[in-house]
Structure 1
Amino acid sequence: MAANVQSIKSMMKNESLLIIAAVLALVSMFFASSDVVYSEHVDLKVIVLLFCLMACVAGLNESGVFQSLFSKLTAKTVSVRKLSLMLILVCFFSSMVITNDITLITFVPLTMMFLKCIGSRRVIFIIVMETIAANLGSIVTPMGNPHNIFLYSYYDMSLETFLSTIIPFAVFSFILIVITVLLLKDYKIDASITYTDKRPDKLKTAKYVILFIISILAVINVIDYVVCLLLVLIVLLLTDRSVFRKVDYSLLLTFVFFFIFSANIGSIEEINHYIVQTIEGRELATSILLSQVISNVPTAVMLAPFTSNGIGLLVGTNLGGLGTPIASLASLISYRLYTTLRRNEKIDYLKTFFVLNISFLLILIVFATIIM
Structure 2
Amino acid sequence: MQHEWLLLVFAALVLLLALLDPRPVDDYRRWLQLPTLAGLTGLLIAIQGIRDSGLAQHAAAASLARAHSLRSLGLLLVVASALLSMALTNDVSLFLIVPLTVSIGAMSNLPVLRMVVLEALAVNAGSTLSPIGNPQNLLLWQHSRLSFLDFALAMLPAAAVMLALVAALTWYWLPRDRVALSPQRIDGAVHSGRLGGWSMAALVGMVVAMEYDLAPLGAMALLALFGALARASLARIDWLLLLTFAAIFLGLGHFAELPLMQRMLDGLHLDQPPVLFAGGIVASQLISNVPATVLLLDRSPDAVALAVAVNVGGFGVAIGSLANLIALRLARQPHGLRQLHRVSIPFLLVCAPLVYLVSRCL
Whether the TM-score (by the shorter chain) exceeds 0.5 is yes
Deviations 1:278-300 (A, max 9, x none): 27334442121232344435534
Percent of residue pairs bearing the same amino acid type: 18
CA contact (8 A) 1:321 1:327 kept: yes
Please tell me the residue identity of whatever aligns with 1:296.
N
Equivalent in the alignment of 1:240: 230
SS of the aligned residue for 1:92 comes to helix
Kept in 2: contact 1:322–1:361 (CA 8 A) = no
Query: Which residue in the other structure is 1:4 paired with?
Result: none
Contact 1:142 1:149 in 2 (8 A): yes
Q: Which residue of 2 aligns with 1:3?
A: none
**What do the CA deviations read for 1:290-348 (whole angstroms, capped 9, x no partner)?**
323444355345555766865444433322121234534554676786862799xx68x
Amino acid aligned to 1:15: L
CA contact (8 A) 2:121 2:344 kept: no
With over 3 angstroms needed to count, the CA separation of the structure-2 counterparts of 1:216 and 1:76, relative to structure 1, is closer
- Describe the SS at the equivalent of 2:227: helix
Distance in 2 separating the partners of 1:318 and 1:123:
25
Given the superposition, is the C-alpha separation of residues 351 and 208 from structure 1 closer, same or farther in structure 2, using an over 3 Å criterion? closer
- The 1-side partners of 2:42 and 2:255 are apart by 24
Report the 3-state secondary structure (helix = DSSP H, G, I; strand = E; otherwise coil) of the residue aligned with 2:66. coil
Residue deviations 1:133-186, cap 9 Å, x none?
Answer: 2332344567755x5498479969898276555555445433443344456798
In structure 2, how many angstroms separate the alpha carbons of the residues matched to 1:124 and 1:37?
A: 38
> Distance between the aligned counterparts of 1:254 and 1:226, measured in 2?
19
In structure 2, relative to structure 1, the CA distance for the partners of 1:79 and 1:46 (3 Å cut) is closer
Q: 1:298 to 1:62 in 2, by over 3 A?
A: farther
Q: Is residue 249 of structure 2 the alignment partner of residue 255 of structure 1?
A: yes
Tell me how far apart the structure 1 counterparts of residues 302 and 152 of structure 2 sit (CA, whole Å). 16
State whether residues 57 and 104 of structure 2, in contact with CA within 8 Å, keep that contact through their aligned partners in structure 1.
Answer: no
Secondary structure at the aligned position of 1:340 is classed as coil
Q: Pick from 282, 294, 297: which aligns with 1:289?
A: 282
Of residues 324, 332, 340, the one that matches 2:334 is: 340
CA distance in 2, matches of 1:360, 1:141: 19
TM-score (norm 2): 0.71
Q: Which residue of 1 aligns with 2:119?
A: 130
* Equivalent residue, structure 1, for 2:102: 109
Deviation (angstroms), 1:251: 0.8
Distance 1:187 1:305, change over 3 A: closer
**What is the alpha-carbon distance in structure 2 between the residues aligned to residue 306 and residue 70 of structure 1?**
47
Gaps of 5+ in 2: none
Root-mean-square deviation (CA, aligned residues, Å) is 4.5
CA contact (8 A) 1:88 1:129 kept: yes
Q: Secondary structure at the match of 2:268?
A: helix
Q: Select 2:6's aligned residue among 6, 14, 18.
A: 14
Equivalent residue, structure 1, for 2:194: 203
The gaps in structure 1 that reach 5 residues or longer are 1-6
Partner of 2:308: 315
Q: Following the alignment from structure 2 to structure 1, what is the Cα–Cα distance between the partners of residues 189 and 294?
A: 40
State whether residues 100 and 138 of structure 1, in contact with CA within 8 Å, keep that contact through their aligned partners in structure 2.
no
Q: Structure 1 stretch 330-339 or stretch 83-92: which is displaced more?
A: 330-339
Report the counterpart of residue 38 of structure 2 in structure 1: 48
- Listed as ranges, the matches of 1:20-99 within 5 Å are 21-23=13-15, 25-30=17-22, 38-39=28-29, 43-95=33-85, 97=88, 99=92
